[in-house]
Structure 1
Amino acid sequence: MRDRWDELADAYLSVYREPPYGEDAADAARFRETVVRHSKLPGFALATVRDGEALGGFAYGVGHEPGWWHPAAATPAPPWLAGSPLFYVYELAVLPDRRGRGHGGGLLRDLLAGRPEPFAVLAAAPAAPAYAMYLRWGWERIGALTPGPALLARPLDVRVRG
């Protein structure tokens, strides 16, 4: 029997094999390891959307204590944000055939509903299909993650919403 982590990894691959990402099965396996590890952290949250029994998309994140910030490749947190607890949205993924139905916005609303952290942050590729949605939904750019051999293949904007 397949577990929910395998189901999420399959959905991840379906979304992230598309341009601009070009990820493969090895990337999906790393994602699976990461989400399982994150699921054991305090403040982990997962939202899903289903079409019957089939997974149509998911979003997940983890709450972080005041002072937490991205790895060294990130622009430093702005002073007004640096001392706040944060909820970091690690992934938002809606399968290609389920897009255009409001699932992305619904997943983020469900994921963030009732969170104790005053701010949510995420990293987004400007070339990604979801990027325009983040702009429409009011996610403000506060910095960037820069590419590096162990971290990213392309630059990402860091965005916040309170």
Structure 2
Amino acid sequence: MPEVTYARYEGAAAARLLGAFLPAYAEVYAEPPYGEGPRDVAEFAEHFRAHVRRSGFRLVPARDGDDGRRTFAVIELAVRQAWRRRGIAAALHARLLDGLDVERVTLTVRSEPEAGPARAAYAAWGYRKAGVSRPWDGAPLYDCMLRERSP
């Protein structure tokens, strides 16, 4: 059994961890007797963002040795227009992932047709669409893409 570690976070440090533990929250509270779904999870996240600003708020997650190291998220990958179609994005992507010891890589791309070239590049690099997200109120839709890593 992996070793479990505990750490305490307060304020802004705790706020930054919402995305890390929200999937666990969703899993636990989907079970009976709660039966919570996506709307409930979104409501919890909203309440968490309010509570974390209160004085004295603490978050103590329990993690195993592998937690947080199985997935790598590409947040931004951008190439200036004059440099596109030269393999630069592919080279940046390859160097970014080089040596990573993770099970999967995720990224998001806008859903509009104009994002088609980026979406096509990601597909050519082994990503597949895994879902759709709207990361914040009023945000456009994004396609969530996933790439499994070879062992």
Q: Under a length normalisation based on structure 1, what TM-score does the superposition of the two structures give?
A: 0.45
* Larger proportion of strand: 1
Q: Under a length normalisation based on structure 2, what TM-score does the superposition of the two structures give?
A: 0.48
> Which has the larger Rg?
2
* Larger proportion of helix: 2
